[in-house]
Structure 1
């Protein structure tokens, strides 16, 4: 199982939208997809039509009160572990021993049941995001095309570097994904240059794909449909497909390299 997360400490950068799109495209291609919603806002859970009241949640998984296999709801060809409003108090509710590794250990129990796990994190660099990055093989950094959003990338970069040093040395940075981007504007060109400089410092890239501002994205979430089902020929769907194909080229290349290493050692 390959674990992916789109993460940002800034709200409104299309983090959840990006996670939804990645999982939807992979499921559409026939993969077994597990979503884990860690955000107390529960936007991913509600968009995926998951029950959120009176059910086991990602918080229960983190506290050890539920296993992922028991908390996962199977809906429309994918599985989702919903968030709880109490996720915001996870730092106080989780046992202190092994706190940063709890999601990683929980995912190990279902590694043979899914091809991909998609982790949706809150817009904060706390325990929930640290758990996600400790569990993830890949992280994508969505950044809205404005200066304040890029400031958030700098803070997330410091967290990623600490994660690599202390809890997950194998974390790959897929790249910076520019969202709500209009290449015709002067500010977008400036932001793109700044993002390229940040990517170089992180040892990653700015995706060639970029995501435009699009009403159909909000509409698809309102009617609780995948963007690829609701508006498959829209510009937003086209750009997200381009991005996901670009991301998966790197994911598959690294996975293939590891497979060769295992084969050579056998």
Structure 2
């Protein structure tokens, strides 16, 4: 049965989509079968792996019950994905019925045995899409910039996860906080890391040993819709992401 990983943070611009992309492609590079789920209406993850989103079925159609998961999966030249587009932004108003928190869990049950990993990219908000991701996830990874504003949002995120754990998914675990666009040479970065480690301890989780250094090349990879491990294998941030995948495997994920 697939291990389901949710990458989340209600704060935008923390490299959440890049991290989802890197985890999925990293596990695939290791020989595992991986399915990406784009739950962000912006559809950036879908774009980054060359998914078609205008004329094909998306995760919206799956959640609505109009299309099966199998019919929505696109096997692109880069990786398997269920894509997203802007139509997904209206689900909070559209899906109001009882049990709406479990739509994704019910849908993915039919493909759980076909993949080793399912990686879910969530929107930069704590809405019903994020709740659906939490309800099906085995573990949560929180990308975070090394700045004070990112620290402030972690507590609110934790409160949401706690509610989901109580009412929807008792087995969910915060695997850790991943520092992104990190500069180890800055004193401020080191101070933020120390504070983040204290907060992580209070939340019952940890800061990952691996951090991701800042890199312009990562954005270039997404623009070119390429596999980062093939396109920019010598890039520091790409090397960091590969080390991060190795750390996840070492942790038993």
The normalised TM-score by structure 1 is 0.92
Q: How many residues align?
A: 252
Q: Deviations over 1:144-190 (max 9, x none)?
A: 01111111211111111111111111112110001111111121111
> Does residue 98 of the first structure (1) align with residue 96 of the second (2)?
no
Distance in 1, Cα, partners of 2:125 & 2:104: 17
Distance in 1, Cα, partners of 2:68 & 2:96: 16
Q: Deviations over 1:7-59 (max 9, x none)?
A: 00000000000000000011111111111101011000011100001221111
Matched with 2:197 is: 196
Matched with 1:138 is: 139
| Residues 174, 250 of structure 1: 8 Å contact kept | no
Matched with 1:258 is: none
1:13-28 to 2 correspondences below 5 Å: 13-28=14-29
1:36-115 to 2 correspondences below 5 Å: 36-76=37-77, 78-115=79-116
What is the SS of the residue equivalent to 1:251?
A: coil
| Residues 49, 78 of structure 2: 8 Å contact kept | no
Where in structure 2 are there 5+ consecutive unaligned residues?
none
Where in structure 1 are there 5+ consecutive unaligned residues?
253-266
- More RCO (CA 8 Å, sep 6+): 2
Distance in 2, Cα, partners of 1:98 & 1:43: 28
Distance in 1, Cα, partners of 2:143 & 2:230: 23
| Residues 63, 95 of structure 1: 8 Å contact kept | no
Q: Deviations over 1:76-97 (max 9, x none)?
A: 2521111120111111222512
Distance in 2, Cα, partners of 1:53 & 1:138: 31
Q: Deviations over 1:81-121 (max 9, x none)?
A: 11120111111222512100110111111111111111011
Matched with 2:250 is: 249
Matched with 2:128 is: 127
